[in-house]
């Protein structure tokens, strides 16, 4: 019910490209329990719908800090998912919830989460990420045991270092973009690369 209410008063989140949510979900499959991975594949469209729905939640849910910030929203989403699984909700609903969680965690790790819509570096980075994502290897650092076995109320505190790291990354990205021709040059290059990618068959 909560997502329904939230989506009625929301604008689409622009912190990262929507395609990234699906990419992250797809590439996380090897680390999921096999039964759950099979359900995610079976309900791929529900995963995408859940991610898209989370992108429409109100702006504070995509911003760091506070009682309705992204850390608290991730906690609430984890609790909602745990309840869905415990109550044997249909897997379409569970997988949609995972899609929403994928969107939120991608936001948490987005360097330009707080950027204004006219931020040229943020725009160039948003174009760059989807073109680069297939070439970036996914690294799994192992399970975060305290986060899995601890109380859900501790999740926001445990997420804070990730947000700080992502925020710091924005400064390095700005420097790199400027050193390599500035945001405009990157936007042009990425647009050409995207067009080339669209002409080539990709994973189905």
Q: Annotate 9-20 with DSSP letters as a single string.
A: T-----SS-HHH
**165-174 burial code (b ≥16 CB/10 A, e <16):** ebbeebeebb
Span 97-116, contacts to Zn ion by CB under 5 A? 107
Q: How many residues of this chain interact with Zn ion, rule: CB under 5 A?
A: 4
CA angle 104, 80, 148 (to 5 degrees): 75
Span 80-99, contacts to Zn ion by CB under 5 A? none
Q: Binding of Zn ion at residue 10 (CB under 5 A)?
A: no
DSSP 134: G
User: Where does this chain touch Zn ion (CB under 5 A) — which range of 44-52, 62-70, 161-169, 182-190?
Assistant: 62-70
Q: Annotate 34-57 with DSSP letters as a single string.
A: HHHHHHHHHTHHHHHHHHHHHHTS
Q: Binding of Zn ion at residue 15 (CB under 5 A)?
A: yes
Residue number with the smallest Cβ distance to Zn ion: 13
Q: Binding of Zn ion at residue 13 (CB under 5 A)?
A: yes
d(CA 65, CA 87): 30
- Single out the residue of 20, 22, 53, 62 in contact with Zn ion (rule: CB under 5 A): 62
Q: Residue 62 or 121: which CB sits closer to Zn ion?
A: 62
Q: Cβ 106 to Zn ion, closest distance in Å?
A: 7
Binding site for Zn ion (CB under 5 A): 13, 15, 62, 107
């Amino acid at each position: 019910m909560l997502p329904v209410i939230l989506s009625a008063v929301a604008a689409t989140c622009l912190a990262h490209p929507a395609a990234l949510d699906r990419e992250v979900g797809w590439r996380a499959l090897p680390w999921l329990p096999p039964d759950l991975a099979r359900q995610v594949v079976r309900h791929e469209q529900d995963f995408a719908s859940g991610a898209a729905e989370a992108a429409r939640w109100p702006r504070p849910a995509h911003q760091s800090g506070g009682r309705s910030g992204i850390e608290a929203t991730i906690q609430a989403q984890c609790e909602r998912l745990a309840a869905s699984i415990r109550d044997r909700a249909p897997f379409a609903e569970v997988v949609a919830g995972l899609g929403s969680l994928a969107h939120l965690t991608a936001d948490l790790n987005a360097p330009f989460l707080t950027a204004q819509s006219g931020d040229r570096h943020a725009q160039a980075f948003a174009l760059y990420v989807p073109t680069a994502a297939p070439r970036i290897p996914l690294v799994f650092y192992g399970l975060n045991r305290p986060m899995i076995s601890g109380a859900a109320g501790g999740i926001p505190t445990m997420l804070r270092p990730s947000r700080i790291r992502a925020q710091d990354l924005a400064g390095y990205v700005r420097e790199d973009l400027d050193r390599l021709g500035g945001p405009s040059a990157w936007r042009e290059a990425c647009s050409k690369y995207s067009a080339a990618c669209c002409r080539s068959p990709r994973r189905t």
